[in-house]
Amino acid sequence: VPMSNATGVVRSPYDYPQYYLVAPWAYGCLAAYMFFLILTGFPINFLTLYVTIEHKKLRSALNYILLNLAISDLFMVFGGFTTTMYTSLHGYFVFGRLGCNLEGFFATLGGEMGLWSLVVLAFERWMVVCKPVSNFRFGENHAIMGVVFTWIMACSCAVPPLVGWSRYIPEGMQCSCGVDYYTRVPGFNNEF
């Protein structure tokens, strides 16, 4: 956390507006952008889930991964974007250290789930395009294994900071939290 040049006192990102980092209008722009992401991300992903649940024809194996991607996006909408919008309206992370841990966890979990869902989709497409004459057919068991794989990989990134391997800290404009990649103290270092 940067120090104030005038006093030499550290300004906690949990207690004070961080307007010395960027101008107050930048926080307003961040809040507006988060509002836009919430306004578009929630309905699209919710409708994806709703329509797939309502129509049995859409319950194909490949759509399991797409539903997992929609769920990961909803984690981002509720766990990340809403918190970032609210905190950016205040200019600092108003929810304290516990809120930072929760926001960091859900944002990391949602981001990693989305990333690994795309990896599973890319693998399925690779099998279809590069191995067209093989006997492999992406079935329900493969889709379930793919979903389980995405959750295991996402949790392996999101859980360790909650149990002491690294930590979640406010980053950037101090309105959202992420894994602490910056601190080089051995107790917080997340490298081998």
Q: Is 187 among the domain residues?
A: no
Q: Is 186 among the domain residues?
A: no
Distances (CA, A) of 154 to 3, 27, 110, 117: 34, 29, 8, 10
Residue 191 annotated as lining a ligand binding site: yes
Q: Is 107 among the domain residues?
A: yes
Q: Is 173 among the domain residues?
A: yes
Q: Is 12 among the domain residues?
A: no
170 forms bridges with which residues in the sheet? Answer: 177
Condensed to tens digits (0 to 9), the pLDDT of residues 101-118 reads 999 999 999 999 999 999
Q: Is 133 among the domain residues?
A: yes
pLDDT at 1: 45
The CATH number for 125's domain is 1.20.1070.10
Condensed to tens digits (0 to 9), the pLDDT of residues 4-22 reads 555 555 567 888 888 888 8
Q: Is 184 among the domain residues?
A: no
Condensed to tens digits (0 to 9), the pLDDT of residues 125-170 reads 888 788 777 777 778 898 899 999 999 999 999 999 998 888 899 9
Count other Cβ atoms within 10 Å, centred on residue 49. Answer: 14
Three-class secondary structure of residue 30 per DSSP:
helix
Domain enclosing residue 126, as ranges: 24-179
Q: Is 14 among the domain residues?
A: no
| Domain count for the chain | 1
